[in-house]
Homo-oligomer: A and B are copies of this chain.
Amino acid sequence: MHSLNNLIIEFYDKLSSWEQSVVKDTGYSLAQVHTIEVLGSHGPMRMKELADRLGITTGTLTVQVEKLVQFGLIVRTPHEVDRRSIMVELTSEGTALHKQHNRMHLQLTEDITRHLDPESIKVLTQSFEKMNREF
């Protein structure tokens, strides 16, 4: 258990460094790419929900979103029924960036699991499912 704990921490640190270096190559900041990632994997959503998912305040997000709109990566549209709310979604460019980033992630996953046999991959997948459920 103790060694598994250390392995998880090491895994997290390495994934962190990897993400940092991959993001740097895009020319956008970590916070910006993270915003694109969330919108890309969960679809359009309100400012409030996006802020909650990113773990930041809406005040911070307002500024962040402003920049991404200027970059042409996202657009703001009024919420259909709630006029207080604003929906945020990816443009085609934003979607392209998300897809590109996703491909990098997929490639990394393939790279780091290449010495695992099919049975281990199966157990690993099931274990991640169970662990994610327990957070």
Contacts and interface: CB of A to CB of B under 8 A. Distances in A.
Given A15-B12, A120-B126, A125-B4, A131 B112 contact: yes
- Assembly of this chain: how many copies? 2
Given A124-B127, A125-B4, A134 B112 contact: yes
A4 to B, nearest CB: 5
A135 to B, nearest CB: 4
A83 interface: no
B125 A3 contact: yes
What band does the interface of chain A fall in when counting residues whose beta carbon is under 8 Å from B? 35 or more
15 contacts: A1-B106, A1-B109, A1-B113, A5-B105, A10-B132, A11-B128, A14-B132, A16-B55, A17-B135, A112-B130, A112-B131, A112-B135, A114-B134, A120-B123, A123-B127
Cβ-closest 9 pairs across A and B: A7-B128, A5-B109, A14-B135, A112-B131, A112-B134, A123-B123, A124-B127, A4-B125, A5-B106
